[in-house]
Structure 1
Amino acid sequence: MNWFLGIIAVLVLIFLINNYYRKKRFKDLKVTLQKNWGKQKENEYFNFYVIKQYFENNFRKNQFYHQISERTSVDLDIDELFKFIDRTSSKIGQQYLYFKIRTIETIEKLKKFESLTNLFLNNGKLRLNCQLVLSKLNTQNSYDLEKLINDKPIDKPSYLKYIYASSFTSLLLIIIGFLNPIFFLFLVPLFFINTIFHYKNKENVTYYISAVGQLTKALKVSKELSSFNEIKQHFSDLSFIKQVSKIQNKTEFVAFENQLTNEYALLFWLLIELLKIQFMIEYIVFYNFIDAISKEKENIDKLFQFIGEIDAAISVASLKSDTLEYCNPKFTSEKLIYTKEIKHPLIKNCIANDINLSEKSLLLTGSNMSGKTTFIRTIAINSILAQTLNICFAKEFVAPFIKVYSSIRISDDLLDDTSYYLKEVLTIKELIEASNDEHPCLFILDEIFKGTNTVERISGGKAILSFLNKKNHIVLVSTHDIELTDLLVKENYELFHFSEFIENEQLIFDHKLKEGKLKTRNAIKILELYKYPTKIIADARKTELNNFG
C-alpha cells in the first residue's frame, strides 16, 4: 500500500512542478509581449524561403486585383520592408502578413482590415489575449500548414482496393483462427507483404505529418480566438471552423507518431505500429485523410486566413504604435498622386518631401546620391502599403487604387548569356504589356536604357515613356539625361530634380525635391574635390565648354 501512495505522491509532485513552470512560461511570455509592443523584432532570423511559401504557392493567385512581382519586390526591397513591419506572434501570421504586403485585393477588404487593426489598437486586453493564443503557433513546424492548402494532393495508388482486401483478410483470418488455430499461420506472410506497402507509404505520411499536427493546433487556436466576442462580431462567417473540425479525428490519427516523445510511449507505439501494419489501418486512414483535406482545402485556407488576418492586424497596430508618423490613405479615381511629408520607412531621419501630380507623370533629374531613386521607391512603397495594410508613412497620401510595376535593379545574366541591355529590353517590355490594362498602373523606372549609347537611349527612352504615360497610368522616372526633360515636358510630364552643393570643400546633399529641371552641373567639380589630377580637370572643363556650352 505504501508503494502505491508513494507513486501517487510522485505523480502529484510532477504535476505541480509542470504546472508551476507552465504558469511561469505563460507569465514571462505575457511580460515579453507587453514589453515589445510597438517595437521592431530583435534578433529575429527571417527564413524567407518558408515565409514566402503561402504567397508563392497560393492556389488563388488569379483571383486578386494585383500581386507584386518578384522583380518589383527586389527593386523596392520588400523583404527588408517586411522585417520592419513584421511584429506577428505566430508563423502562420508571419506567412500571411508577407502574402498580404504583396497582394492587393479590394478597398472593401482593406477597410475591414483597418477596422480590425483599430480594434487591437484601442483594446489592449483583447490584443494581449490574442497574442498569447497565437504564440502557440510560433514553432518552425507551423510554417508547414500551408502545404495542406497549396500542395497538389497525392494521387491514390491504383492498388488501393487490394489494401482494403488485405485488411479484411487479416480480420477474417483472426476470427477463423479462433475456430482453427492453423489459420493464424497465414497472418505471418500477410504481415510481411503488408509491411512492404506500409513503409513504402511512410514517405507520404512523413511529408504531411508536421502539417497535420499544425492543423490540429491551428484548429484549437481558431476556436480560442473565436471565443472572444469582439472577434466573433468582426468575422461574420466562422462556419469553416466547424467544417475543419469534422476531419479532426483523421488528422490526429495521422499525426499520432509526432506526439510520442519518450521511451515509454515508444513501447506503446510499437504495439500500435504492429496493429497498423497487420490491418493496414494507417494506409487506409491516410488516403481517407487526403480525400478529406482535398474536400476541405478552401475551409482550411479560411482557417489559415482567419488566424493570419488577426495576427497581421495586431502587427500593423503595433507598427502604428511606433514613433513613426503615418496616415491612412485616401483613394481617388483621378490620375493623381498627392503626398505631404512622405518618407521612406527604412531610412532613419529620412528627409520628408511633398509632391502633387495631377493628370501628369514625373521626370526626376539629379546626380548620383542626390536621392532620385530613393524618392521614386518611397512613392512606390507607400502606394503598396496604402493598398495592402491601409497605412502610409506621410502626413497625407492621395492616389488611385493602382497596380505597381518597376524597372530599377537590372543586371547581366551570365548563366543564360543575357546582356544588360537585353535584360532591360525584356523588363520594360513587361511594363509595356502591363500598360494595356484598363486599371491604372504605376510604373517606376530608374535610368532607362543606360545599357546603350546616348542617342538611342534618349530616343528610345522618350518613345517608351510617352507610350506608358497613357490612360490613367502614372510614370515615375529618374534619369541623368537632361535632354529627356525638354522632350517629355511636351508629353505630359512634370519636371522635378534633386541637387547638391559644395560648402567648405564638402559635398552636401539636402535631399529636398525641387520643381523644374536640374540646371547645375557639379560632376567635374566633384572630381576636383576628390583630388583628381589637375590635367584631367582642365581637359574635362575644356571639353565641356567646347562641346556642351
Structure 2
Amino acid sequence: MFALITVGIFCVMAVVLLLIRKAHIASVRNLKETFGRIPDEEHDMKRVSSYHVHAIQADEETSFLDSTTWGDLSMDSVYQRINACHCSIGDEYLYHVLHDVHTPQSTLESRYLLKEWLSTDEVSRLRLQKILVGIGKRPGNGLGAFIFYPFTKRLGNDWIYVVLAMSPLVACALLSLSIQISMGILICSVCLNILVSVNKTSSLESELESLRYFSSLVHGAKMINREFASRLNEMCESGTLGDDLEISLAPFRRMRGVLPGSMNPFAAEVEVPFLVLKAVFLMDLIRYNRTVGLMIAHNQELQMLYKIIGELDMAVSSASFCASIPWYCKPHFDEENFIVIENGYHPLVSNPVPNSVVLKNDSILTGSNASGKSTFIKMIAVNHILAQSLFICCAKEYSLGRAFVISSMALRDNIEIGESYFMAEIRSLRRIMDECKKQRCVCFIDEILRGTNTPERIAASTAVLRVLHKTQSMCLVASHDIELTEILDEIYDNYHFIEHFEKDEVVFDYLLKKGPSKTRNAIRLLEYMGFDEQVVIDAREMLGEK
C-alpha cells in the first residue's frame, strides 16, 4: 500500500511538472511569436494616462506635448501601434515618455542601447519579458498617486491603531487581577478592532490594490537585479543603470515581509482564522501605514525604481516596434533647426510612400485635396516626437534640431462652451505664437484660418505666418491658398503634391515636389463623382475655364 501511495505521489508530481513545463514552453513560444508583430491589445487611455497626469502636475517646469497636439497627430493611435509592453508600468511610462521631447541626449542614447541589446539578444530578452509578464497588468493601479503624493495616502493618527492593536494583549495581561474585567476589555477590544479593520480596509480597497501591485513590482525588480545587474550597467551611457536599480531596490527589499499576506500576489490565499487574527490586531492597517511611510521616506528611490522598470519594458516595446516596421534609423541632432529626411514615412500608414526632403526654412505645402499634404506634415511631426522621446525615426536617415513640437490641425466647434470653429482656430494659433516666444519649436499648421472668409483669411494668415517666421522656430503649413505662396515667397519655401487623371480616375503619387502647386482638382472631382454636367459647366465658367 505504501509503495502504491509513493508511486501515486510521484506520478502526480510528474504530471504537475509536465504541465508547468508545457505552460512555460507555450509562454516562451507566444513571446517569440508576438515580438515584431503589430500589437492588437486595446488600452484604456484614461487609465494609461494616470501616471502622466500626476507627473505633469508635479513637474511644472518641463513643457510636455499638449492635448491639442497629441490629438492632432493621432498620438493615441501611434501609442497603440508602438506599445508592446508586458506590464502596466511600461504602458503608463511609455505614454508619459511620448509626451516629453526634452529628454537629455544621454538618456536617449541609453534607450537606444537597451533597444539594440534586446533586439539582438533573444535569450536575455525572453528572460526579461517573462519577469515583466510576472509583474503583470493592472490598468489603473494607482501607483502614480503613491509616487508623487504619498503624504495624502498615509492614515492620520497612526498611533491610535498601535494602541488599539495592543489592547487585546493588555486585556490578557489583566487576567491575573480580574477575570471579569479582563474578559470585558478583551471582548470590547476584539469587537472594536474588527469593526475598525473592516471599515478602514473597505475604504482603502483601491489603495491596498495599489500596494499589492507594488509588491509585484518589487518582486520583479529583485529578479531583474539578480539576473541583469551587471549587463544593465553596460547598456547605459552613464554605466550605472544596474547600480541605480540596486540603490532604488534597497529600501524595499524586505517589502514582502512588511506587507500583509493578502497584499502578496505570490502567496497562497490566507485562511479565515488568519484573516480574523489580522483584523483583531489591525495588522493590515499598521503595515499599510508602515509601507506608505517607507514610500515617503524613500520617495526618490521609489520614483527611480518605477522609471527603471518602465524603461526596460519600454525598451522591449521599442525593439518589437522596430522589428515590425519597414526600416528605422537613429536620429541625428543638429544645432540648427533644420530637417533632413531620407525615405521618411508615417508609422500608421500601411504601404507608405517614403519621402525625402531637406528643410532649412519655414515652408508652405500646397496641393489638391487628398494629395498627401496633411499626412506629410504629420509624418514629420510624429518622427520629431519619436526622435526626441524614443530616439528612433521611421526613416533611413533623419536629422533635426532639438525643438518643441506644437500643432494646429484637427479643430472643431465646441458647442458646450459656445465656441465657434474660427474662435477655436484663433485660440490654437495664439498658443503656438506664445510657445514660440518661450522656446524653439517646430510648428505644424493644417489649413490655417479656414474658418473665415477668403480675403480675411489670406490677410490674417499672412500676418500670423510673418510673425512666426521672425521667431527661432520652424513653421510648416499645409494650405489650399495659393495666394499665400505668392505673398510669402521671399520668406517661406514652397513645396507641393500633385495628381493626374487616368481614365476618369484620380491618381496621386504622394511624392513631395519643390515649388507651389499649379493645379486644382476640385471641379474635376465633381465630374468624377457623377455630379450633374451643368454643375460642372457652371463651376468652370465661373473660373473662366472651358
Q: Same fold (TM over 0.5)?
A: yes
The AA in structure 2 aligned to 1:433 is D
Alpha-carbon distance, 1:180 to partner: 2.8
Alpha-carbon distance, 1:311 to partner: 1.7
Deviations 1:222-262 (A, max 9, x none): 1221222312443142311112224442224561599554x
Alpha-carbon distance, 1:309 to partner: 1.0
The AA in structure 2 aligned to 1:395 is K
User: Match of 1:392, SS?
Assistant: coil
State yes or no: 1:241 paired with 2:234.
no
Q: Residue 251 and residue 317 in structure 1: after superposition, are their counterparts in 2 closer, same or farther (change >3 A)?
A: same
Q: Residue 279 and residue 315 in structure 1: after superposition, are their counterparts in 2 closer, same or farther (change >3 A)?
A: closer
The equivalent residue for 1:541 is: 540
Higher mean alpha-carbon deviation, 507-516 vs 321-330, is at: 321-330
Matches within 5 A, 1:245-394: 245-253=253-261, 255=263, 261=269, 265=270, 268-269=271-272, 271-358=273-360, 360-394=361-395
The AA in structure 2 aligned to 1:171 is L
Alpha-carbon distance, 1:6 to partner: 8.6
Distance 1:153 1:329 in 2: 41
Identity %: 25
Higher mean alpha-carbon deviation, 177-186 vs 328-337, is at: 177-186
Distance 1:373 1:198 in 2: 59
User: Match of 1:364, SS?
Assistant: strand
Matches within 5 A, 1:403-482: 403-438=404-439, 440-482=440-482
The equivalent residue for 1:196 is: 195
Alpha-carbon distance, 1:101 to partner: 1.9
User: Match of 1:405, SS?
Assistant: strand
State yes or no: 1:399 paired with 2:406.
no
Q: Residue 159 and residue 231 in structure 1: after superposition, are their counterparts in 2 closer, same or farther (change >3 A)?
A: closer
Deviations 1:92-140 (A, max 9, x none): 2222222222222111110111111122222222112211221212333
The AA in structure 1 aligned to 2:398 is F
Deviations 1:71-93 (A, max 9, x none): 11111111211222122232322
Match of 2:76 among 65, 72, 79: 79
Contact 2:37–2:321 (Cα < 8 Å) also in 1: yes
The AA in structure 2 aligned to 1:527 is L
The AA in structure 2 aligned to 1:117 is K
Match of 2:107 among 95, 106, 109: 109
Distance 2:370 2:265 in 1: 58
Distance 1:427 1:315 in 2: 33
Alpha-carbon distance, 1:366 to partner: 1.2
Distance 2:349 2:57 in 1: 34
Contact 1:445–1:476 (Cα < 8 Å) also in 2: yes
Distance 2:153 2:392 in 1: 44
Q: Residue 466 and residue 233 in structure 1: after superposition, are their counterparts in 2 closer, same or farther (change >3 A)?
A: same
Contact 1:340–1:355 (Cα < 8 Å) also in 2: yes
The AA in structure 2 aligned to 1:516 is G
User: Match of 1:489, SS?
Assistant: coil
Structure 1 residue runs of 5 or longer lacking an equivalent are none
Alpha-carbon distance, 1:470 to partner: 2.9
User: Match of 1:365, SS?
Assistant: strand
User: Match of 1:338, SS?
Assistant: strand
Q: Residue 256 and residue 344 in structure 1: after superposition, are their counterparts in 2 closer, same or farther (change >3 A)?
A: closer
Contact 2:190–2:280 (Cα < 8 Å) also in 1: yes
The equivalent residue for 2:64 is: 67
The equivalent residue for 1:34 is: 32
The equivalent residue for 1:90 is: 87
Contact 2:318–2:390 (Cα < 8 Å) also in 1: yes
State yes or no: 1:137 paired with 2:135.
yes
Q: Residue 10 and residue 469 in structure 1: after superposition, are their counterparts in 2 closer, same or farther (change >3 A)?
A: farther
Distance 2:48 2:474 in 1: 32
Q: Residue 6 and residue 168 in structure 1: after superposition, are their counterparts in 2 closer, same or farther (change >3 A)?
A: farther
Matches within 5 A, 1:484-499: 484-490=484-490, 492-499=491-498
Deviations 1:248-281 (A, max 9, x none): 42224561599554xxx4xx33x23333333333
TM-score if structure 1 supplies the norm length? Answer: 0.90
| Alignment length (residue pairs) | 535
User: Match of 1:442, SS?
Assistant: strand
TM-score if structure 2 supplies the norm length? Answer: 0.91
The AA in structure 1 aligned to 2:108 is L
Alpha-carbon distance, 1:19 to partner: 3.0
Contact 1:148–1:297 (Cα < 8 Å) also in 2: no
User: Match of 1:308, SS?
Assistant: helix
Contact 1:54–1:150 (Cα < 8 Å) also in 2: no
Higher mean alpha-carbon deviation, 245-254 vs 230-239, is at: 245-254
The equivalent residue for 2:238 is: none
Calculate the aligned-residue CA RMSD, in Å: 2.6
Match of 2:16 among 18, 25, 32: 18
Alpha-carbon distance, 1:14 to partner: 5.2
Deviations 1:288-347 (A, max 9, x none): 222222223332222221112112112222222335111111111112111111111111
Deviations 1:490-546 (A, max 9, x none): 3x2111111212221111111111111111222222222323223222222222129
The AA in structure 2 aligned to 1:223 is K
Distance 1:189 1:57 in 2: 43
The AA in structure 2 aligned to 1:200 is N
Q: Residue 446 and residue 414 in structure 1: after superposition, are their counterparts in 2 closer, same or farther (change >3 A)?
A: same
Higher mean alpha-carbon deviation, 103-112 vs 151-160, is at: 151-160
State yes or no: 1:218 paired with 2:217.
yes
Deviations 1:441-489 (A, max 9, x none): 0111111111111111111111111112233201111111111111222
The AA in structure 1 aligned to 2:351 is N
